[in-house]
Structure 1
């Protein structure tokens, strides 16, 4: 903890001052800035080490107030980047007015980033520094200090930003949005924070693999959401069990079902060892009717006289439609009949076994519908695939199933 290491930083500050490689500057900031832009030294720079150490003592003991003195590390005043020239290493903080949360007002001179981080890296044996390219100038600054102290600078790797098209990452705007009630929290699905990605079911392994494949580049890299989804899909597809979900449910009544049927739906199409979901369909009444829920988009697309196949169950032909239901006639059981007729395969849920389900989409909209009964046993944080809909992460599973949409 850097606030516990102030004496360490003081030790090296005094060494730099004693050896003539740093100085205490009492110039007005604007005056110093004008000089440094002209590569001209200020009058403080050439004072003797003894005078510098006396000024340092005054900094420590209260002889200067906040803003009146800073310790600067000497660099090349002709360096092409003015930000490198004689950079500030330590400054005074009025800790009586602004006490530190850990050490209170015990110290009044505090190191800035380049001095504290640079010294820590050396003393802690850091061999490789990996950080954003915005720190390239900081490396140049720290190299001057390392040279003054007789140290070798560690291997430094700088990388550009990895951006996702349309991703919203501004922390200040996110906080403002939460305060105004626009976002529910850091895990709001409209955001691209790690918390939001985790809630949607984007795995750490997918993010890691994508970053490794992109590699450290000094140039900024912009990817699409589809790039990330492709990595995530490759990981989720072999391990996610399949279930049915119908959004905006519409009733499908199938007449003349010839007998009771038991259907076994595989949890994974390529892994029979994972098991099955099993449902019994028993026709009722004089018309031998079996009732199902299907998705509204499938109901809207159905045409009169057209054959549809209820996945893994049987084939039906549409007879009539209303705003809230479809009437159909049992056609056959064989999948081959559906294939020959080029029938559309649709998912379904047996009426009376449905589980109310809310799917929170990436834009925070909610898709309401029914999930199949087997979903009752699923635990929160499980990632599954709703067939013909997409991958989802289970968020809550009590009286109602609440899931977050991941991607197709």
Structure 2
């Protein structure tokens, strides 16, 4: 079995090494081999079997870069997209320049989700960065739905709409939109070309037999048959003479390739769409392209210059390069991104779909706030700008990253604080009767201490208010409280399940002298029921509260800052009940 570095992979390694070697020399005056090798291995960690050859190739590239004159280095750095600063400005955030931009007529990027589910934070990373690059270079951004597997990754009809809505919410717009299931005749055209030219063949072997042959590096008996035989079989497939599992169409690659999955991989397979109808095309087609075929054809036809995708797609790049080689096309530049995780949240589409199906009563739907989907983050009260800022800060690193809720909260807080109304909500309320209030008191409280967000007025005729049970415990111990923006009170006694307190006046300086803790409160006559839903991992806490009744006049979807409790999004208003989803402190 051959262990040499395959040509398509070798070219990718060379390009990557060149980029890092130039950047290293620009930074240190002389490119150093070790850090460049580490960078390259970080992006090609799935190909450790070629480590010696990769290291040797990197050394050659580093030596070449170090031999260049200053002018040659400058010209080459511009060609591959490495600047002396190593960055291309994108407003307040930065992304490294794209490689080889000068050799492409127009920069075209794409986001290609599978509508078998909604998008999550990891998907959004690709969308945001791809769109940002298209904007930086005044290029084109494409949205492409990759929906060519109606059997194992069956598209969900509403997912197309929700994905569009999520992208628009992220302020991402696209110049062109494509749906692969509506492009089947285009794929068939290129399939026929590959078969007719002897680059692809119809395989009639049983899967287990082919797998055994492939693992041994032995050709399938159908591989060497004349292209005319395979063209005839292809016609029979279209005529419905072969059923699901009876035939597949494979691309001729390298039977000695180190990774068996690359050896003569499947281009098309038959799917019984009478049994598994496609939500858009129904049972019109039975021969469906695999991801790697449809994506490869579309990237060329749509003029995609730069592909940003997860590092797990490295092998797919190698597979697709065989198609490009046969068709005489230039393969796009590829930037492999590391995986993104979200602390204490679930991003796995498979896991979420399984849970929603097996435990429908346990979760709130695809936008359940315990998930890491974009719909869930939006429902939770995370601003679109927060997501974009964090993603752009991550950049295009090839290493995996876990985004902490602490980071999300810090960024979200800066964005929301100036524009969010501050309201009073008390959890586990305890009633206080205040003695000594001799007349109605009107209290005007601004919704924000510095932003002009308006105010509300509480006219208090009945001297009863709610505070939280925790603040009630503090009141018992300290003996004094300052009801925020209202009054100073003194603990007297407890009676009939409530606290009796004495009104001491409204002067805030007096409260400071008394050492009275300042707490939020809700007047009984201006109160409404509030339930706060607080995600804690896969658990969902329901906190019973009362809140000021002005919340009922706000709109569903509005984000508020609950004083001393944190930010929350108003999820539902139903009569005297308001449901608020806790975003973060």
Tell me whether the two structures share a fold, i.e. TM-score over 0.5.
Answer: yes
CA distance in 2, matches of 1:255, 1:66: 81
Matched, 1:132 2:310: yes
CA distance in 2, matches of 1:301, 1:101: 60
The answer to whether the Cα contact below 8 Å between 1:261 and 1:280 also exists between their aligned partners in 2 is: yes
CA distance in 2, matches of 1:354, 1:99: 53
Deviating more after overlay: 12-21 vs 381-390: 12-21
The aligned residue for residue 560 of structure 2 is: 384
CA distance in 1, matches of 2:453, 2:496: 39
Q: How does 1:99-118 map to 2 (within 5 A)?
A: 107-118=285-296
User: Deviation of residue 2 (structure 1)?
Assistant: 3.4
From 164, 167, 172, the counterpart of 2:353: 172
- Secondary structure of the equivalent of 1:361? strand
Q: How does 1:1-400 map to 2 (within 5 A)?
A: 1-62=179-240, 64-94=242-272, 107-169=285-347, 170-179=351-360, 181-257=361-437, 260-271=440-451, 273-282=452-461, 290-303=463-476, 306-322=479-495, 324-362=497-535, 363-397=539-573, 398-400=575-577
CA distance in 1, matches of 2:322, 2:482: 74
The aligned residue for residue 287 of structure 1 is: none
- Secondary structure of the equivalent of 2:260? coil
- Secondary structure of the equivalent of 1:187? coil
User: Deviation of residue 268 (structure 1)?
Assistant: 0.4
Q: 1:234 to 1:104 in 2, by over 3 A?
A: closer
User: Deviation of residue 94 (structure 1)?
Assistant: 4.7
Pick the structure with more helix per residue. 2
Give RMSD over aligned pairs: 2.6
Q: Deviations over 1:128-151 (max 9, x none)?
A: 222223322111111000110000
Q: 1:344 to 1:63 in 2, by over 3 A?
A: closer
CA distance in 1, matches of 2:240, 2:453: 73
CA distance in 1, matches of 2:578, 2:285: 55
Q: 1:177 to 1:270 in 2, by over 3 A?
A: farther
The answer to whether the Cα contact below 8 Å between 1:188 and 1:364 also exists between their aligned partners in 2 is: no
The answer to whether the Cα contact below 8 Å between 1:178 and 1:185 also exists between their aligned partners in 2 is: no
Matched, 1:404 2:581: yes
CA distance in 2, matches of 1:257, 1:347: 19
The answer to whether the Cα contact below 8 Å between 2:458 and 2:526 also exists between their aligned partners in 1 is: no
User: Deviation of residue 236 (structure 1)?
Assistant: 1.3
Q: Deviations over 1:336-368 (max 9, x none)?
A: 222233320011222322222222222433222
User: Deviation of residue 227 (structure 1)?
Assistant: 2.2
Structure 1: 5+ residue runs without aligned partners? 285-289
Q: 1:371 to 1:107 in 2, by over 3 A?
A: closer
Structure 2: 5+ residue runs without aligned partners? 1-178
Q: 1:215 to 1:174 in 2, by over 3 A?
A: farther
- Secondary structure of the equivalent of 1:230? helix
